[in-house]
Amino acid sequence: MPTARPRSAALGGVLVLSLAWGLTLPLLGQGSATASPAAVGDEVVAWVEVEDGEISGGAAGPPAFNSGDHSNFSGTGSYTFRETGMTSTMSVDVPAAGTYPVYVRYAAGPLGPDENVTRSMGLLTNGGARQQMSFPMTSFENWEAWRFVQYDVQLDQGANTLAIQCDRGVDFCRLNFDAIQVGGTAPDPCVATPVKPGYVGLFDGTFASFDSWRKAGTGGFGRQTDCSIRSFRGPGAQWLTEAQTGPYTLELDWRRDGANDDSKVFLASSSRSGANPVGGLGIAIGADTGAIEPTGSSAQPADASAVAAAVRPLGEWNTFTVELTDSSVEVFLNGTSINALETQAGDVDSGFVGLQNRSFIDEVDFRDIQVKAGVEPDLLDSTTSVVAAPATATVKHDSVSVSVEVTSAGETPTGDVELALGDAPATTVPLVDGVATALVGPFDVVGAVSLEARYLGDDTTRPSTSPASSIQVVKATPALRVKVRPRKVVAKKTKARLMIAVKDGIVSPTGKVRVRIAKNIGKKRYVATLENGRAIIKLQRFRKAGAARATVTYLGDALSESVTVAERIAVKKAKKRRR
């Protein structure tokens, strides 16, 4: 990945990003897939945020960091290039020599009437000849419309440099630069997230869908490498430019990394020109998650117990589903109803959808924003529970039977359950007579594995999520065997050996074994390291005859428990020689 630089270093010097790409990158936000070999340059090998490096300037100084007056950027912000000498130089490693496309994301907004023209900058590859790049206007109205231009470059295998340079002698450089992509058959490495049946995507992770949103107030939203968008340096808001007409159902994912990161989802605002809605309402994210606050009125708190049961920990994604009509709004968190408010007819039916940028320090992520016309009919609530039997499993050995039960006051629920186990992708399991079962495991690591089941609902039953549960994965207990060689041990004469084997049918024990001799007839302590599950400990000669007790302990490792056995060593008295 690109080497991250401290913010203070990003305000001076030359933009140099060291990228060591030993493997071809998968598309951001996507898993890798097996495919036929791609031609050189067809795969994305680098995505470079301008603010992650250092920049330099001429007599006029370095380019300026756009901390909040331009939104819809990538990463945390962008830079403005204006005058001669302003240069951005990037170091890029590529896996093979060849021709690579370079996609430059930029904004060229309105200036004076005589300056609203196509602009240009130079592109230098490995310090070679200067290739002039043209940058058409992206908007005659604002600086928040971003576009890509593509230029091909010839790169050597391994280390290369790419430099973007302003020379007012030949260029008109009034441009904002955001990020650069090296390689790929098209700009933007994010792939649109799928849209649920009946829904329309409002933000699907791509820059194209991000372009349907505009900021108001200070700060802005930036798209991240996981294809989500994040609020920066508020207060402000990010508004969908097209108003939505109710009744409708809005669904979106949100994530907070810190306990003090707060936001709101605005609905039915009659204007998108400010940081706050005009009319409509807001739905809180944060300490008061799920509270519904009609603009100009007091907030109605969500059901605290329902929120506590449904909300996921900091750093994990949550899903809001909001059903809006001309007389009511209902909020669901991860499938659980947490708040509902009756309103005056026509109060909150239609208007703009927005995401709050609460303050300079509040950073909240959003993704997968979708809307569909209408709301679900009055459905019955469901209750989902999940049980793992047994609740404890031995690492790499045991599988666990998971049973999910879904109940409601009406007919037996039908449909599917999503089973989330640790960090693994969710598995869909069908309900049969209200119960879904699955066999999970064996498990590769020791510790608590989180377990959660989400019922997806059917035509008469609402979705619901089970309380969080877990499966405790414990270490394997290997067999410890000890043999004394030779079998006959003579005091002051025999150097005995302990042949130690630590075995498990599946796990391969590693680490150390320790030996303690109980009787004071020789050295008391020994330690050895296992090799392929075996160790040999050579004992010193015993000083006198007697029964020695050897306590042998395998000390365990990340997957294997410590085990102790005792072995008796009979030390014989040496026979006296006859004269």
What's the confidence (pLDDT) of residue 521? 64
Mean pLDDT of 408-432: 92
User: Shortest CA distance to 466 belongs to which of 315, 334, 305?
Assistant: 334
- Does the structure show a pLDDT above 50 at 275? yes
Calculate what percentage of the chain has a pLDDT beyond 70: 91
Q: Which two tokens stand for residue 24?
A: 């071809």
Q: What span, in angstroms and rounded, lies between the C-alpha atoms of 108 and 433? A: 60
What's the mean pLDDT in 279-285? 95
- Any residues with CB less than 8 A from the CB of 475 and at least 6 apart, and which? 394, 395, 446, 556, 558, 559, 560, 561
H-helix or E-strand spanning residue 234: none
pLDDT at 578: 63
Tell me how far CA of residue 387 lies from CA of 33, 293, 423, 565, in angstroms. Answer: 34, 38, 19, 37
Tokens representing 522 are: 């020789």
Statement: residue 35 has pLDDT above 70: no
- Cβ atoms of 281 and 348 within 8 Å: the answer is yes
* pLDDT tens-digit series, residues 555-569: 999 999 999 999 999
pLDDT for res 65:
76
pLDDT value at residue 576: 74
Closest CA to 176 of 91, 77, 90, 60: 77
Q: Is the pLDDT assigned to residue 20 strictly greater than 70?
A: no
CATH number of 7-182: 2.60.120.260
pLDDT at 579: 58
Q: Tell me the average pLDDT of the chain.
A: 88
Tell me which fold the domain 479-572 belongs to: Immunoglobulin-like (2.60.40)
At the fourth CATH level, the homologous superfamily of domain 200-373 is Exo-inulinase; domain 1 (2.60.120.560)
Q: Do domains 7-182 and 479-572 have the same CATH topology?
A: no
Least confident interval from 115-119, 341-345, 367-371, 546-550: 341-345
Residue 307 carries which DSSP code?
A: H
With cut-offs at 50, 70 and 90, classify the pLDDT of residue 24. very low
For residue 448, name the pLDDT band (cuts at 50, 70, 90).
very high
Cα-based torsion angle of the residue sequence 61, 65, 68, 72 in order, rounded to the nearest 10 degrees: 130
The secondary structure of 181-224 as a DSSP string is EESSSSS----PPPPPTT-EEEE-SSHHHHTTEEEEESSEEEE-
Would you call the peptide bond into 194 cis, given omega within 30 degrees of 0 as the criterion? no
Report the percent of the chain where pLDDT is more than 90: 69
Are 475 and 444 in contact by the 8 Å Cβ rule? The answer is no
Say which CATH topology domain 382-474 has: Immunoglobulin-like (2.60.40)
Q: What is the mean pLDDT of residues 489-509?
A: 93
Residues 6+ away with beta carbon under 8 Å from 294: 280, 281, 341, 343, 347, 348
Task: Provide the β-strand partners of residue 479.
Answer: 503
In this structure, the dihedral spanned by the alpha carbons of residues 386, 390, 391 and 394, taken in order and rounded to 10 degrees, is -140
User: Does the pLDDT of residue 16 top 60, yes or no?
Assistant: no
From 77, 81, 42, select the one nearest 62 (Cα to Cα).
Answer: 81
Would you kindly state where each structural domain of the chain is located, as residue ranges?
Answer: 7-182, 200-373, 382-474, 479-572
Q: CA-to-CA distance for 189 and 47, rounded, in angstroms?
A: 8
Over residues 173-202, mean pLDDT: 93
* Residue 413: predicted pLDDT: 96
82 or 285, higher pLDDT: 285
- Mean pLDDT over 14-41 rounds to 43
pLDDT digits (tens, 9 = 90+) for 189-223: 999 999 999 999 999 999 999 999 999 999 889 99
pLDDT confidence band for 351 (50 / 70 / 90): very high
87 band by pLDDT with thresholds 50, 70 and 90: confident
